Amino acid sequence: MPFVTLLGHRTWAKIPAAGPTVVLLHGGMSSSASMLRSLGPRLKKDFRIAAFDRRGHGRTADTPDPFHYESMAEETVAFIELLGRPVHLVGHSDGGNVALLVTLARPDLVRRSVVIGANYHHEGLMELDLMTRPSPEFDLWAMKYAESSPDGMEHAAVVFDKTLELFSHEPTLTPADLERVSRPTLVLAGDDDVATLEHTCSMYESIPDAQLAIVPGTSHGLLKERPKESARIIRRFLREEGALETLAPVRRARRAPDA
């Protein structure tokens, strides 16, 4: 099993050979395995695929510290620096939130960024019927968590509680923050995703020259529901070079030349 040390913590990671690289950033209460299955095989023709399990997720053990998106972004920066080259970021859910923070903090490490089912502010989420504990749903998730976690099933409740606390208070970015994103960004979401469509569109409108794709007939699980379609959209975006040109620009035509 491949492990590296990130910020002093033993971390499961997939380290590819040199070349154009995509780093897959998994969602909360999940692991890299999900995105490696859904997107990995469909992107590997054009890109080297890298991934790591964040602290307290997948095959990486937890610590007593609470979850914060800023610390997740710091982990990601450390991982990219370990790779030793700028990368494309493709993040789902929490991974998309992290991709935004990394792009803002260290644009020198990012070529292009795809944020999938993300929310830049916690108030942008729909009213969700979240899993509770104890419950049969939690027990099923805990069993899945324990299949890979070195912390075992007894730690599942700790991760669950820390995740709910994170969701209730973070992230706290604003449209003004998003205006500072300086790398090409694709905002991708399902038409029945966890963030409101208004919130998703405000993200797209706030990021300079962003692109927007809403996959019809999908939910927050669009990468599993429409893996081929999602990967096709992502591949097209990541393979683009230079400034985007369209036949009849309206929104982009109104931007200042130095925006």
pLDDT means over runs of 10, the chain (259 residues):
93 97 97 98 97 98 98 98 98 98 98 98 92 92 96 97 96 98 98 98 96 98 98 98 88 61
**Whole-prediction pTM value?**
0.96
41 within domain boundaries: yes
44 within domain boundaries: yes
149 within domain boundaries: no
Q: What is the CATH number of the domain that holds 84?
A: 3.40.50.1820
**CA–CA dist 30, 83 (Å, integer):** 23
71 within domain boundaries: yes
User: What is the pLDDT at residue 186?
Assistant: 98
Number of domains in the chain: 1
100 within domain boundaries: yes
Q: Please identify which residue in the block is written with the tokens 């099923």.
A: 140
151 within domain boundaries: no
Whole domain around residue 108: which residue ranges? 3-125+171-254
115 within domain boundaries: yes
140 within domain boundaries: no
